[in-house]
Amino acid sequence: MSIEQEVKEIVKEKYGAIAQQISSQKKSCCCGTREPLDFSIMAEDYTKLSGYSPEADLKLGCGIPTEYANIKSGDTVVDLGSGAGNDAFVARSIVGDTGRVIGIDMTEPMIEKARKNTNALGFTNVEFQLGDIENIPVEENIADVVISNCVMNLVPNKQQAFSETFRILKHGGHFSISDIVLVGELPTDFKREAALYAGCVSGAVQQEEYLAVINNSGFKNIVVQKQRAIELPEEILQQYLSKDKLEEFVRHKIGIFSITVYAEKP
Average pLDDT, stretch 153-167? 93
- Sequence-separated contacts (24+) of 17-25 with Cβ below 8 Å: 18/58, 18/60, 19/58, 19/83, 19/84, 19/107, 19/109, 19/110, 19/112, 19/113, 20/109, 23/54, 23/55
Q: Where are the beta strands (DSSP E) in 161-230?
A: 169-183, 220-229
DSSP 45: -
Q: Domain of 43: which CATH number? A: 3.40.50.150
CB atoms within 10 A of CB 242: 11
- Positive/negative CA dihedral, 169, 171, 173, 179: positive
Q: Per residue in 24-33, pLDDT tens?
A: 444 444 444 4
How many domains does the structure of the chain reveal? Answer: 1
Q: Per residue in 162-174, pLDDT tens?
A: 999 999 999 999 9
Domain range enclosing 176 = 3-264
Predicted confidence (pLDDT) at residue 107 exceeds the cutoff of 70 = yes
Confidence of residue 99 (pLDDT cuts 50, 70, 90): very high
- HSE (CB half, 13 Å, CA atoms) of 233? 13
- Per-residue confidence (pLDDT) for residue 224, from 0 to 100: 98
DSSP 61: -
Higher per-residue confidence, 237 vs 13: 237
